[in-house]
């Protein structure tokens, strides 16, 4: 299948006619074309997700673009529900007749020279199954560490983390903060014929050449702890562990990192210092943590200002923005905003950009962890070492015209 644009309303009408004339809800040729057109429409909008949600008044179709749910696509009549769900589930290799339990599936397709994997998940809801289609473009550029938005200082720090032979590197942030993209770029940078790399993932978000990727299967018993124990007996040097979710995984990850392996993983925490405390809560003793941690990255994604319509402006001293900036406000300070233009479809933003906070484990920090120092003491140490926080990295990106203060406030709360 290829992805190019095509008129949706016409296809909706056609699918409706065909359903009616065939006297069945199974749909036919027209439904195939309608679903293809929907996927094309979502892909053309650079959507990361397409939601297909049957509700009382019809089937709602919504795209997530640059992290936010955008204006909905045309409402589909409920008469198309059975045929539409059947078509998508069939394409995704899901059980078309099962409607009672959540299911997962996968569609592979091509569009404008970029390969796209679509992960499909279903969830039975009161008006029928809700399908969410997640688009994963194999954007080769995103595999390069220097295209992730790191400042040159942070990039050097990050390269320092992953160049080590052994240790634990943690990437932290909420859902959809680009953690996997950073992990994949790190693994890509480490890939070499003489290096053995294994990834344990749930799910595998993209296939990487030259490394061994393992998909976790909870139902059959292949969990992170089971796979990590097996890895202790295998000859892997660098390991990507999808996520540390529980005590058992945390203990095994630390054990592996202590025995001469480099282990990269993710955690759901607000910032770098929180990651240290989350691992302590998961039962990792301070002396092991101090010994094994190499570095922590905390990250967020912000919408990038449209380069075609952005403009600089001076913040008035008595404005709400000056107040929001607090001690970071300086008289005559300039920031950027965008009004919206044709190039950005009136939204003022185009694509996204990552903000980072990096914490390299210096001897002073190791000492603080070992002593069980409180979070404030660790944050003060970060400040003293002139390590920019997420806010500071974001503010500097605001001043360069890459994003807006309002966006920074939205994302960092
Ligand atoms: Zn614009």
Residue 29: what are its φ and ψ, rounded to 5°?
Answer: -55, -40
Ligand 1 centroid, distance to 304 Cα (angstroms): 10
**CA–centroid distance, residue 411 to ligand 1 (Å):** 21
**Are 81 and 152 in a shared domain?**
no
- For residue 127, the domain's CATH number is 3.30.450.90
266 CA → ligand 1 middle, Å: 34
**CA of residue 346 to ligand 1 center, whole Å:** 6
pLDDT for res 30: 82
Per the CB < 8 A criterion, the answer to whether 257 and 295 are in contact is no
Cα of 401 vs centre of ligand 1, distance in Å, is 13
Please write the tens of the pLDDT for every residue from 293-325.
999 999 999 999 999 999 999 999 999 999 999
Residues 146 and 130 occupy one common structural domain: no
Q: Model confidence at 19, in pLDDT bands (50, 70, 90)?
A: low
The terminus-to-terminus CA distance of the chain in angstroms comes to 41
pLDDT tops 60 at residue 1:
no
In this structure, is residue 349 part of a structural domain? yes
- Boundary-marking domain end, from 137, 160, 181: 137
Ligand 1 center–CA 394 separation, angstroms: 20
Classify residue 396: in a domain, yes or no.
Answer: yes
Q: What value does the mean pLDDT take over residues 328-335?
A: 93
**How far is Cα 54 from Cα 70, in angstroms, rounded to an integer?**
18
Looking at residue 74, its pLDDT comes to: 84
| Domain interval for residue 364 | 140-412
Residue 113 lies in a domain: yes
- 253 with 393, same domain? yes
pLDDT of 25 above 60: no
Residues 100 and 177 in one domain: no
> How far does residue 350's CA lie from ligand 1's centre (Å)?
8
Distance, CA 53 to ligand 1 centroid (Å)?
A: 30
> Is residue 2 assigned to a domain?
no
* 377 domain-assigned: yes
Distance from Cα 403 to the centre of ligand 1, integer Å: 12
**Distance in Å, CA 62 to ligand 1 centroid:** 22
Buried b (16+ CB within 10 A) or exposed e, 353-387: bbbbbbbbbeeebbebbeeebeeeebbebbeeeeb
Strand partners, 355: 300
What's the gap in Å between 351 CA and the centre of ligand 1? 11
Separation of CA 387 and ligand 1 centre (Å): 33
Same domain, 205 and 314: yes
C-alpha 305 – ligand 1 centre gap (Å): 8
The pLDDT tens digits for 267-287 are 999 999 999 999 999 999 999
Last residue of a domain, one of 137, 165, 182: 137
Instruction: Using the mean position of ligand 1's atoms as its centre, give its distance from the Cα of residue 150 in Å.
Output: 24
- Domains of the chain: total: 2
Q: Is residue 352 over pLDDT 60?
A: yes
With cut-offs at 50, 70 and 90, classify the pLDDT of residue 377. Answer: very high
Residue 396 CB coordination number (10 Å):
13
Distance 347 CA to ligand 1 centre (A): 7
The reply to whether 252 and 284 lie within a common domain is: yes
* Dist CA 244 CA 138 (whole Å): 25
**52-66, 110-124, 144-158, 377-391: which has the minimum mean pLDDT?**
110-124
Mean pLDDT score, 347-355: 92
What's the token pair of residue 14?
Answer: 């056609």
Residues 273 and 372 in one domain: yes
Instruction: Give the number of residues written for the chain.
Output: 413
Lowest mean pLDDT among 14-28, 271-285, 301-315, 341-355: 14-28
My answer on whether 77 and 147 are in the same domain is: no
Tokens of 320: 């709400």
Mean of the per-residue pLDDT values for the chain? 90
CA of 220 relative to ligand 1 center, distance in Å: 49
**Spatial contact of 227 and 242, defined as CB atoms under 8 Å apart:** no
Ligand 1 mean position, distance from CA 339 (Å): 7
* Ligand 1 center–CA 131 separation, angstroms: 32
Does residue 213 fall inside a structural domain?
yes
162 shares its domain with 220: yes
Report the candidate in 349, 350, 329, 348 with the shortest Cα–Cα distance to residue 339.
348
Q: Are residues 267 and 317 in the same domain?
A: yes
In a domain, 61, yes or no: yes
| Per-residue confidence band for 111, with pLDDT thresholds at 50, 70 and 90 | low
Q: At what angle do helices 8-22 and 29-44 cross, to 10 degrees?
A: 160
The answer to whether residues 199 and 333 belong to one domain is yes
The Å distance, Cα 317 to ligand 1 centre, comes to 27
Q: What is the CATH number of the domain that holds 239?
A: 3.40.50.300
Q: Is residue 25 part of a domain?
A: yes
Give the pLDDT confidence score for residue 199 in this predicted structure: 96
338 shares its domain with 373: yes
Separation of CA 294 and ligand 1 centre (Å): 41
140 or 212, greater pLDDT: 212
| Percent of the residues in the chain that have a pLDDT greater than 70, as a whole number | 93
Which of 137, 160, 189 is the last residue before a domain boundary? 137
């Amino acid at each position: 299948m290829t992805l190019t644009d095509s008129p949706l309303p016409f296809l909706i009408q056609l699918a409706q006619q065909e359903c009616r004339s065939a006297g069945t809800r199974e749909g036919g040729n027209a439904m195939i074309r309608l679903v293809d057109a929907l996927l094309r429409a979502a892909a053309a909008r650079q959507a990361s997700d397409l939601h297909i949600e049957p509700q009382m008044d019809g089937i709602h179709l919504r795209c997530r673009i640059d992290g936010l749910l955008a204006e909905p696509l045309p409402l589909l009549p409920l008469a198309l529900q059975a045929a539409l769900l059947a078509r998508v589930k069939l394409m995704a290799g899901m059980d078309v007749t099962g409607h009672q339990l959540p299911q997962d599936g996968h569609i592979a397709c091509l569009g404008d020279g970029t390969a796209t994997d679509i992960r499909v998940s279903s969830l039975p809801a009161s008006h029928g199954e809700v399908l969410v289609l997640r688009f994963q473009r194999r954007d080769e550029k995103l595999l390069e560490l220097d295209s992730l938005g790191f400042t040159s200082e942070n990039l050097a720090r990050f390269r320092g983390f992953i160049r080590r032979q052994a240790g634990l590197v943690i990437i932290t942030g909420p859902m959809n903060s680009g953690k996997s993209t950073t992990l994949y770029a790190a693994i890509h940078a480490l890939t070499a014929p003489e290096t053995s790399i294994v990834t344990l993932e749930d799910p595998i978000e993209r296939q990487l050449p030259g490394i061994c990727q393992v998909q976790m299967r909870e139902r059959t018993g292949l969990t992170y702890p089971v796979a990590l124990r097996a890895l202790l007996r295998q000859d892997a040097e660098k390991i990507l562990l999808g996520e540390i979710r529980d005590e058992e995984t945390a203990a095994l990850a630390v054990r592996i990192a202590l025995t001469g392996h480099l282990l990269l993983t993710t955690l759901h925490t607000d910032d770098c210092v929180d990651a240290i405390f989350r691992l302590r809560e998961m039962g990792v003793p301070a002396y092991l943590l101090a010994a094994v941690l190499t570095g922590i990255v905390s990250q967020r994604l912000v919408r990038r200002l449209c380069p075609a319509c952005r403009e600089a402006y001076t913040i008035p001293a008595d404005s709400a923005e000056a107040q929001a900036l607090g001690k970071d406000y300086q008289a005559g300070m300039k920031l950027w905003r965008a009004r919206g233009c044709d190039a950005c479809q009136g939204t003022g933003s185009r694509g996204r950009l990552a903000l980072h906070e990096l914490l390299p484990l210096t001897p002073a920090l190791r000492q603080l962890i070992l002593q069980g120092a409180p979070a404030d003491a660790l944050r003060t140490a970060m400040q003293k070492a002139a390590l920019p926080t997420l806010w500071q990295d974001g503010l500097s990106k605001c001043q360069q015209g890459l994003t807006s203060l309002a966006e920074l406030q939205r994302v960092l709360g």
